[in-house]
Amino acid sequence: MTIDAPEPDRTLYFDVDRSARIVADSFRNTPDPRLKQVLQSLAQHLHAFVKDVRPSTDEWAAAIAFLTATGQKCDEVRQEFILLSDVLGVSMLVESLADNAGERLTEATVEGPFHMVASPVRELGDDINVSGEPGERCLITGRVVDQDGAPVPGATVDVWQANSLGFYDVQRPDEMPQGELRGLFNTDADGRFHFRSIVPAHYPIPTDGPVGDLLRATGRHGFRPAHVHFAISAPGLRTLTTHIFVTGSPYLESDAVFGVKESLIVDFALLDDPARAAAAGLPNPFRHADFPVVLHREERP
Amino acid sequence: MTIDAPEPDRTLYFDVDRSARIVADSFRNTPDPRLKQVLQSLAQHLHAFVKDVRPSTDEWAAAIAFLTATGQKCDEVRQEFILLSDVLGVSMLVESLADNAGERLTEATVEGPFHMVASPVRELGDDINVSGEPGERCLITGRVVDQDGAPVPGATVDVWQANSLGFYDVQRPDEMPQGELRGLFNTDADGRFHFRSIVPAHYPIPTDGPVGDLLRATGRHGFRPAHVHFAISAPGLRTLTTHIFVTGSPYLESDAVFGVKESLIVDFALLDDPARAAAAGLPNPFRHADFPVVLHREERP
């Protein structure tokens, strides 16, 4: 005596040839149409990748272990999955696809994993090198306009950078005060901003985790060229997340996270101008970088 | 006065159209040719996926958060990335691609996330339901042969299953003794094995983590049809990881992890045979499942 069961339908069961379609079909009842689209596309591309490389079960287990270690490396001040996305060029691709508004606009680049704490609100002209980190002193100026050239007063300019050893404040909480080399500024009536800092240095991304293991295994270096991060926003304008890169920095041609765009390489010019140095509150001579920013004014719906 | 730098070469910088090629090329110096192949294929398929769905930066951040939570859900007794691989059909695809040795062999299926502790060594005929979990008593028998029909004496038969509430010992350490419903057997001189257990029940995969969130968001259930896991190995033969599924179990047609193959659905027949029950050490009547196993004898290199 056996439990009666209908004759099984072969097409209901897993099959290598139809695997992507079977998995995509399992998402057919997803209420959110966008989530459904993303997961059905994921099923197609993920299964195509697996069929292309035909991993052994040991290789599959190694991939599971790598992803698990990547998740477990994350904490309040470390985001290893963003690093992984960065070194695979995915972060840069996402930023670039989202930033397709036109040639006259300032280009975007990756946010990176260190924009995790709120920058302190500061006044125009303030020094973000609050505790006097060693480094070449510089003045950074800029003006925010829209695509028609109209100035954007009151735009929020969020700035963050590493010190001359390549560390952000969150990476060295015992040595760097919180908010060091970060600042949240508002542009003046003419859309202008300016602040004091130090010229950033090139530095390696954190390589003491799974992403570092990946770079070592693949003969890739982990360095990023010298840069200052910006996130610039204002009502009615598309928020821009970008960097300026220092002209002549090493690794401009091989950024570990593929972040460099030619238009974002900015001259940190050495100025010998005692009057301007005194006005800015800097020793003479000093470096000066100017970053003109063009944001996209969104159409009203 | 500025730092002198050569004129930048546009082709060195990131570009959406060439993004997959740029990232694939970054792996050109990978010493291990297989790792290089896998990562260059990953770059192509991953970038194709991103270009297909064009995630917003908020969607990308949600994906980063999901992967991070998946890694952080893992511990000694929980492997959420295997679950994710399972519900995306990737585990089943990997097993099926690795298991392409021919139609006469016993088919493989997913290992699942609960083969994480060593099964206790047991004697043929032992009861793996050591502490007397409630459930319908059954005898499971089988014979291991190679593709030419020759018996495989001394093959290792590793068995694990859930109790009638759908829990493995590692999920309920306070209620189930370690090794409950697990056993490591060796086949006899004729390749045969037999042991006592309870008929497994269908059950849901763990849904209190990110994978459960994914299933709920997509209108998918998390149930697996009733099954017993096997991993069978012997020197010179390809190790087989598979299940037997209980004929008539719910969810045979919609296994949350796509694990069902028609050839693995086995009758747990109700036997009314007092003499055989007494010989097996089971109450009469009892269920009986027979699992003939054909392993692939590897060619000598």
Where would I find the H helices in chain B? 19-26, 33-53, 57-72, 80-87, 90-98, 210-217, 274-280
Arithmetic mean of pLDDT, A229-247: 95
Q: What pLDDT, in 10s, does the model give residues A191-205? A: 999 999 999 999 999
For A44, the domain range is 10-54
pTM attached to this predicted model = 0.86
**Is the same domain home to B201 and B284?**
yes
d(CA B206, CA A124): 53
**Does a structural domain hold residue A147?**
yes
The verdict on A264 touching B (C-beta cutoff 8 Å) is no
**Does a structural domain hold residue B5?**
no
Residue A15 DSSP SS3: coil
B 155-214 → A contacts, CB under 8 A = none
Question: What pLDDT does A2 receive?
Answer: 45
- B194 noted as active-site residue: no
Q: What pLDDT, in 10s, does the model give residues B22-32? A: 999 999 999 99
Q: CA of A285 to nearest chain B CA: how many angstroms apart?
A: 11
> Who's near A122: CB < 8 A, 6+ residues apart?
A128, A183, A184, A185, A195
Question: What pLDDT does A275 receive?
Answer: 97
**Is the same domain home to B47 and B97?**
no
β-partners of residue B278 are: none
**Is the same domain home to B128 and B270?**
yes
Cβ–Cβ below 8 Å for A241 and B57: yes
**Is the same domain home to B40 and B144?**
no
The verdict on A250 touching B (C-beta cutoff 8 Å) is no
**Is the same domain home to B39 and B88?**
no
**Is the same domain home to B25 and B113?**
no
**Does a structural domain hold residue B71?**
no
Q: What pLDDT, in 10s, does the model give residues A68-80? A: 999 999 998 899 9
Report the residue of A7, A64, A287 to disrupt the B interface, i.e. the one with the largest count of B CBs within 10 Å.
A64
The verdict on A14 touching B (C-beta cutoff 8 Å) is yes
Q: CA of A62 to nearest chain B CA: how many angstroms apart?
A: 11
Measured between beta carbons, the chain B residues lying within 8 angstroms of A268 are 2-3
**Is the same domain home to B50 and B94?**
no
CATH code of residue B181: 2.60.130.10
**Is the same domain home to A217 and A266?**
yes
Question: What pLDDT does A165 receive?
Answer: 87
Q: How many CB contacts within 8 angstroms connect chain A with chain B?
A: 267
Alpha carbon dihedral A246, A252, A257, A258, in 10-degree steps, equals: 110
The verdict on B64 touching A (C-beta cutoff 8 Å) is yes
Query: What are the C-alpha distances in Å from A177 to residues A126, A163, A165, A293, B10?
Result: 16, 12, 15, 29, 39
pLDDT at A216 over 70: yes
**Does a structural domain hold residue B105?**
yes
**Does a structural domain hold residue B244?**
yes
- Counting residues of chain A whose pLDDT is more than 90, the rounded percentage is 82
Rg (CA), chain B: 24
Arithmetic mean of pLDDT, A256-268: 95
**Is the same domain home to A45 and A143?**
no
Question: What pLDDT does A58 receive?
Answer: 94
**Is the same domain home to B153 and B107?**
yes
pLDDT at A10 over 60: no
Name the strands in the sheet holding B227-234, side by side, starting at the edge strand that comes first in the sequence.
B182-186, B156-160, B227-234, B237-246, B265-266
**Is the same domain home to B47 and B86?**
no
pLDDT at A24 over 90: yes
The verdict on B60 touching A (C-beta cutoff 8 Å) is yes
- B276 noted as active-site residue: no
Cβ–Cβ below 8 Å for B93 and A51: yes
Q: How many domains does chain A have?
A: 2
Which candidate, B205, B209, B196, places its Cα nearest to that of B287?
Answer: B196
Helix (H) or strand (E) run with residue A65 in it: helix A57-72
**Is the same domain home to A162 and A272?**
yes
Arithmetic mean of pLDDT, A229-239: 95
Confidence category of residue A1, pLDDT binned at 50, 70, 90? very low
Question: What pLDDT does B1 receive?
Answer: 40
d(CA A165, CA A180): 13
Cβ–Cβ below 8 Å for B90 and A50: yes
Which tops the pLDDT comparison, A144 or A111? A144
Q: What pLDDT, in 10s, does the model give residues A155-202? A: 999 999 999 888 999 989 999 999 999 999 999 999 999 999 999 999
B218: nearest CB among A39, A50, A90: A39
Cβ–Cβ below 8 Å for A68 and B48: no
Which candidate, A275, A40, A75, A99, places its Cα nearest to that of A171?
Answer: A75
d(CA B256, CA B168): 17
Q: What is the pLDDT along chain B (301 residues), one digit of tens a residue?
A: 444 555 555 567 888 999 999 999 999 999 999 999 999 999 999 999 999 999 998 999 999 999 999 999 999 889 999 999 999 999 999 998 987 656 679 999 999 888 888 999 999 999 999 999 999 999 999 999 999 999 999 999 999 999 988 899 998 999 999 999 999 999 999 999 999 999 999 999 999 999 999 999 999 999 999 999 999 999 999 999 999 999 999 999 999 999 999 999 999 999 999 999 999 999 999 999 999 999 998 875 5
Q: Are A198 and A163 contacting, i.e. CB atoms less than 8 angstroms apart?
A: yes
- Counting residues of chain A whose pLDDT is more than 70, the rounded percentage is 94
